[in-house]
Amino acid sequence: MGQLTQFAPFLLMFVVIYFFMIRPQQKRAKNEKEFESALKVGDRIITKSGLHGKVAELADTTVVIETMAGKLKMERSAISMEMSASLNKK
């Protein structure tokens, strides 16, 4: 019984870290994966570096973005989920 109460603060600390740090990060990563897989040609997007454009072509891991300056090939993971969602709401 004494050893259990000795480890209770460590166990409680791990549970708090899990629910406030690890779990939200896993949920965000899952949402980003779903967003990347749901992209389709013609979607208006913003990259994480701030480039605005429209999806011209899709491949397994890459996407071709049509911008005012031309076409750029980028990784799907370079597209910002939050900023693209707010752009499409307008």
Among 59, 32, 61, which Cα is nearest to 48's? Answer: 32
46: phi then psi, degrees, rounded to nearest 5: -130, 130
Q: Is it the case that residue 2 has pLDDT exceeding 80?
A: no
State pLDDT tens for residues 6-15: 888 999 999 9
pTM: 0.68
Contact 52, 46 (CB under 8 A): yes
State pLDDT tens for residues 44-78: 999 999 999 999 999 999 999 999 999 999 999 89
Tell me which of 39 and 4 has the higher pLDDT. Answer: 39
Q: Is it the case that residue 89 has pLDDT exceeding 90?
A: no
| Amino acid 1: pLDDT | 66
